[in-house]
Amino acid sequence: MSKKRKKLHGTVQKIIKPTISGEPEKAQIAVQQADDLYRELRIENVITDEKGEAARLKPGAEVDVIVEADSSATIKKPD
C-alpha cells in the first residue's frame, strides 16, 4: 500500500533527564511549522542510523519530523 507523508523541520530545544530511575531520557523538539500551542514534542531520546546503531540527540540539533500514513487513511484535499 502506498503512503502519504509530510516532512516538518524542528530543533532539539533541550534534553530532559528522567526524574525516576529507570525512566528514559527525553528530547524536546520544537517544530517550526506547528501551531504555537502544539509546537513542542517530547520523545524518548533514542534514534537509530541506517545500520541500526543507537544514538542520542543533542541540544540544538536540527531534525526532520516525518508524519506518514497509508493512503487509505487519507482523503483528497479539496480544490
Amino acid at position 53, single letter: E
Amino acid at position 64, single letter: D
| CA dist., res. 35 & res. 46, Å (int) | 25
CB-CB neighbours of 30 under 10 Å: 15
| CA dist., res. 41 & res. 58, Å (int) | 15
Domains of the chain: 3-67 (2.40.50)
pLDDT given at position 24: 94
- Phi/psi of residue 58, nearest 5 degrees: -120, 155
Residue segments in the chain with a per-residue pLDDT below the cut of 50: none
Q: Nearest-CA neighbor of 5 among 61, 69, 65, 51?
A: 69
pTM of the model: 0.84
